[in-house]
Chain A
Amino acid sequence: GDSVTQMEGPVTLSEEAFLTINCTYTATGYPSLFWYVQYPGEGLQLLLKATKADDKGSNKGFEATYRKETTSFHLEKGSVQVSDSAVYFCALTPSGNTPLVFGKGTRLSVIA
């Protein structure tokens, strides 16, 4: 079945460091890909998404590119802030109505 694999955390970075969180997927066809963020004590929030190959999703300085040849959707940010500390989830859906399949999440801690 469809699945998402994320790099394991936790990831600890200093403020202004470069961030990469790897995400690869297994799916038939052309899934839509998502990154969600979960701040402490809160529900998940959509961070960005991409719906077809080579699309780049971006939001709040984060970006990810849909790479079909490597089945990847890595999350990047050029300069992280303490406020970016959260758990990041990669997810996919094979089609618009099929429930999202999530990775296990990667906890990011940014220290000043």
Chain B
Amino acid sequence: NAGVMQNPRHLVRRRGQEARLRCSPMKGHSHVYWYRQLPEEGLKFMVYLQKENIIDESGMPKERFSAEFPKEGPSILRIQQVVRGDSAAYFCASSRQGVEKLFFGSGTQLSVL
């Protein structure tokens, strides 16, 4: 029973490029949460999605960041025109319902040169 799968594990981009981070939730899970972890900081909530719907994007920067969770396929977190400050670990978590039992992926480490 595969867990939450995130890829790539490491992503290197130059300033101004686009970064696409993928998250495949556990089988049967329709709730996906994205978090960002900066060095020496806790996880900061970014966005909560259910299939084809954004439920809560209160933690997403207003510009350059977007997320989707299509009917088929993984959830995608897209960062356009990356800047050095976007360098962080991005974690995805999934659940069947709510946050009482979240399962996290191993994260994508984004490095912006």
Contacts and interface: CB of A to CB of B under 8 A. Distances in A.
B8 to A, nearest CB: 14
B63 interface: no
B28 interface: no
Query: Which bracket fits the contact residues of B?
Result: 20 to 34
A27 to B, nearest CB: 14
Contact of B42 (A96, A97, A105): A105
Contact of A100 (B41, B99, B106, B107): B99
Interface in A21-44: 32, 36, 41-44
Contacts of B98: 96-97
B45 A99 contact: yes
Given A42-B106, A44-B43, A104-B42, A98 B4 contact: no
Interface residues of A, number: 23
A104 B40 contact: yes
B107 A43 contact: yes
B42 A102 contact: yes
28 contacts: A42-B106, A43-B104, A43-B106, A44-B93, A44-B104, A45-B104, A46-B101, A51-B100, A93-B100, A96-B97, A96-B98, A96-B100, A97-B98, A97-B99, A98-B99, A99-B33, A99-B59, A99-B99, A100-B43, A100-B45, A100-B99, A101-B45, A102-B35, A102-B42, A102-B44, A103-B42, A104-B40, A105-B42
Interface of A: 4, 32, 36, 41-46, 49, 51, 89, 93, 96-105
